[in-house]
Amino acid sequence: MSTLVEQYDAFAEELKHRRRYFLSESSQKFLSGLKELAKERNILLTKGEVLYRARRNELVKVSKDHQPSLLPRPPDQMKPAINMNSEGRANSYNITMMYLASSEETAIAEVRPDVNFPVTVSNFKVVKEIKLVDFVSLRPNFYWWFGFASDDENLWMNLSNDYSRPLYKEEQRINYLPTQVIAEFFMTQGYDGLVYQSQFKSRKLESSNGEGIAKNFVIFDIDAVEHVKSEVWKICEQTVLVEKYTK
């Protein structure tokens, strides 16, 4: 019998290379099984909780040059536009979803601004209770010693990696397909969104229970949150950790 990771790999392979709109029986079975597993991985956000979204400030003409505005973007620019002709880790092309972060720092890091470039960071308040699937998955402590985890744990670690790992632009369209379909599947099952680990601040994986990890939130209904306030931030310094690449 195939493992859950093998079933996920087959599901992803089908989406990328064979079928996209009418899934095979095996792929439908995988999604049904994932729904059952997700019952143990729910997060509830209550009304009034605050999450964060960032956007680089606009360039404005000053004399003969263009310089970034030092004023915060207006609130209507801090929600994603409808029909914006783009896609992401969870949203298919031209389907709008709300991407938010667990902190101002994570939101800023996600837009990758240059040092000293002004960035508008907005607080968004949850306006109703929303139920999310938690894709943040830490390796158990014993994994580092024995390289072993349960079938369920291995699956969630793979899903967590696929939602959070950085991709080059030319890789995105094909490799986002599995995570987009999974997100839309959970939307049809009554969920309001999902949570995944940010690729930034990965050092906080040292936490054994997930507390303090930089997280990203995807809310399917952009009106489930409302704008509270905006402030202008900037990155003062960047630190780059490097190591020699080995296969």
In a domain, 106, yes or no: yes
In terms of residue numbers, what domain contains 98? Answer: 43-233
Domains in the chain, number: 1
Q: Which of 151, 127, 130, 149 is nearest to 140 (CA)?
A: 149
What span, in angstroms and rounded, lies between the C-alpha atoms of 57 and 98?
19
What span, in angstroms and rounded, lies between the C-alpha atoms of 182 and 212?
26
Sign of torsion over alpha carbons 95, 220, 202, 232: positive
Phi, psi of 42 (to 5 degrees): -95, 145
Question: Would you tell me the crossing angle of helices 177-188 and 25-38 to the nearest 10 degrees?
Answer: 60
What's residue 202's pLDDT? 40
In this structure, what is the dihedral angle of CA atoms 174, 178, 182, 188, given to the nearest 10 degrees?
50
What's residue 148's pLDDT? 66
In a domain, 14, yes or no: no
In a domain, 166, yes or no: yes
pTM, to two decimals: 0.89
What's residue 63's pLDDT? 75
In a domain, 33, yes or no: no
Do residues 119 and 113 make contact, with C-beta atoms less than 8 angstroms apart? Answer: yes
What's residue 32's pLDDT? 98
In a domain, 174, yes or no: yes
What's residue 207's pLDDT? 43
Q: Which of 118, 16, 85, 99 is nearest to 53 (CA)?
A: 99
pLDDT tens digits, the chain, 247 residues: what are they? 799 999 999 999 999 999 999 999 999 999 999 999 999 999 999 999 999 999 999 998 777 788 899 999 999 999 998 888 889 999 999 999 999 999 999 999 999 888 999 999 999 999 999 999 999 986 655 454 455 678 999 999 999 999 998 888 888 889 999 999 999 999 999 999 999 999 875 443 344 444 568 999 999 999 999 999 999 999 888 877 788 887 6
What's residue 167's pLDDT? 85
What's residue 105's pLDDT? 92
What's residue 199's pLDDT? 82
Do residues 224 and 126 make contact, with C-beta atoms less than 8 angstroms apart? Answer: yes
In a domain, 205, yes or no: yes
In a domain, 108, yes or no: yes
In a domain, 27, yes or no: no
